[in-house]
Amino acid sequence: MAHPPTPAKTRRIRTTQAILGVNGTTQLLNNTQIDGHFYPFGGLEAEANVEVERSFVTAADVVVYGNVNIDGDMNIGGNLEGIGAIDVDGTFRLGGTNSFLGWLDVGNQEPIGSPPSQPCDCRPDQQIDIAGAIARAKSTNNNGASGLGTQLSNLGYTDLRLSSGTYYFSDATNIGFVRITIEGTVALFLDGDLDTIGAERIKLAAGSTLDLYVGGNIRSVGHVELGDKSAPASFRLYIGGSDDVTLSVGNAQFNGALYAPNAIIEYIGNTNIRGSLFARRVTGTGNLVVGYAEPEPAPIVCPDPEDLPPPGDPNEPDPPTIL
């Protein structure tokens, strides 16, 4: 298949660990297990049992009613309040006052030093430009070379297959009329809002990967098992809107990375994320598990736009592992 000129480089999520990163506040009810790092940068309010396999970092207050177990370090820039038990295997650092009532057992304690930074140290000007990526895909894509228009409603397909490349569609709401099968390394750009996204809409063939960019909002993210659950790096979802996103209602498995820097993520029920979640705010009721099986992880770094291939480049090497 002929390919158009290489699009401008598009930033992508590049991490190698399980991470729950929230720039705003995080509110948790019930049990939460994170098999990696937890960065509730804007503070944590939890009436729950919280288990974190690696580090915990926040610049604000922590209010906990329950039990907290941190296998790594715990860094709190603000105050610590609540009732229960906190067990930190690594170093405990606190920038504010400690009025926590209950058991506090730490491996080591020292001053916090400089205030913690946001997850991935991604300031607004460093975040992935989802709107800009969609605008570039609108002008440079593989639609024409594949004999496709840019409006899903005009394609006449109920089962659309996309091979390696970059694809753009202007009427995102009409994805509900089409089942899309991904075959190869695909970047799919949807302009507008989506009511829902789930396995009934998009399917990945074995060994395929998908970067899905949505310019607007997604009302809900349902039961998504795209690709192999042991390889969540095969699916990455980027949401440009700022409305609330319901991650699940009931029991749900999300395999992949969800990047929604301006949105509030709400999870309801038992939610199992094999991959990563980065959002402005997270709030939920139910059991939340964030995990990813991976060998000894590399350091966390922000995406570097100069170090990333263009989306959908069929000559791209194996995709980077995402938490």
For residues 196 and 280, which has the higher predicted lDDT (pLDDT)? 280
Quick one: 199 and 52 in the same domain? no
Would you give the DSSP letter of residue 136? Answer: H
Residue 284 is predicted with a pLDDT of 73
Residue 265 is predicted with a pLDDT of 81
pLDDT-above-70 percentage for the chain: 70
Phi, psi angle pair for 223, to nearest 5° = -70, 100
Is the residue at 279 inside a domain? Answer: no
AA identity, residue 26: T
Quick one: 120 and 155 in the same domain? no
Is the residue at 148 inside a domain? Answer: yes
Average pLDDT of the residues in 98-102:
94
Please say if the pLDDT value at position 6 is more than 50.
no
Would you give the DSSP letter of residue 224? Answer: B
Please say if the pLDDT value at position 131 is more than 70.
yes
Range name among 4-8, 17-21, 98-102, 132-136 with the lowest pLDDT average = 4-8
Quick one: 137 and 120 in the same domain? no
Residue 229 is predicted with a pLDDT of 65
Which one of 9-18, 33-42, 189-198 scores highest in mean pLDDT?
A: 33-42
Quick one: 121 and 102 in the same domain? yes
Please say if the pLDDT value at position 81 is more than 60.
yes
Residues 124 and 30: their CA atoms lie apart, in Å, by 31
Is the residue at 136 inside a domain? Answer: yes
Average pLDDT of the residues in 96-114:
91
Is the residue at 135 inside a domain? Answer: yes
Task: Look over the chain and give the mean of its residue pLDDT values, rounded to a whole number.
Answer: 76
Quick one: 180 and 313 in the same domain? yes
In what helix (H) or strand (E) does residue 116 lie, and over which residues does it extend? none
Average pLDDT of the residues in 35-39:
84
Is the residue at 298 inside a domain? Answer: no
Quick one: 42 and 162 in the same domain? no
Quick one: 167 and 313 in the same domain? yes
Residue 234 is predicted with a pLDDT of 83
Number of separate domains in the chain: 2
Pair type for strands 194-197 and 56-58? unpaired
Quick one: 148 and 224 in the same domain? yes
Please say if the pLDDT value at position 129 is more than 70.
yes
Range name among 77-91, 132-146, 303-317 with the lowest pLDDT average = 303-317
Q: Over the stretch 225-253, which tens digit does the pLDDT of each residue have?
A: 555 566 677 888 898 887 777 666 555 67
Residue 12 is predicted with a pLDDT of 43
Domain boundary among 126, 146, 169: 126
Q: Over the stretch 176-225, which tens digit does the pLDDT of each residue have?
A: 677 888 999 999 999 888 776 665 677 888 888 899 998 888 776 765 55
* 8 A C-beta contact, residue 28 and residue 50: yes
Is the residue at 149 inside a domain? Answer: yes
Residue 249 is predicted with a pLDDT of 53
pTM: 0.66
Residues 253 and 91: their CA atoms lie apart, in Å, by 33
Residue-number span of the structural domain to which 87 is assigned: 15-126
Please say if the pLDDT value at position 108 is more than 80.
yes
Is the residue at 8 inside a domain? Answer: no
Domain boundary among 81, 108, 126: 126
Domain boundary among 93, 126, 159: 126
Please say if the pLDDT value at position 278 is more than 50.
yes
AA identity, residue 52: V
Quick one: 109 and 207 in the same domain? no
Is the residue at 286 inside a domain? Answer: no
Quick one: 142 and 257 in the same domain? yes
Residues 314 and 186: their CA atoms lie apart, in Å, by 8
Quick one: 121 and 135 in the same domain? no
Query: Please, is 143 exposed, middle or buried when counting C-beta atoms within 10 Å of its C-beta (0-12, 13-18, 19+)?
Result: buried
Residue 273 is predicted with a pLDDT of 76
Residue 7 is predicted with a pLDDT of 37
Residue 241 is predicted with a pLDDT of 82
For residues 139 and 180, which has the higher predicted lDDT (pLDDT)? 139
Quick one: 72 and 95 in the same domain? yes
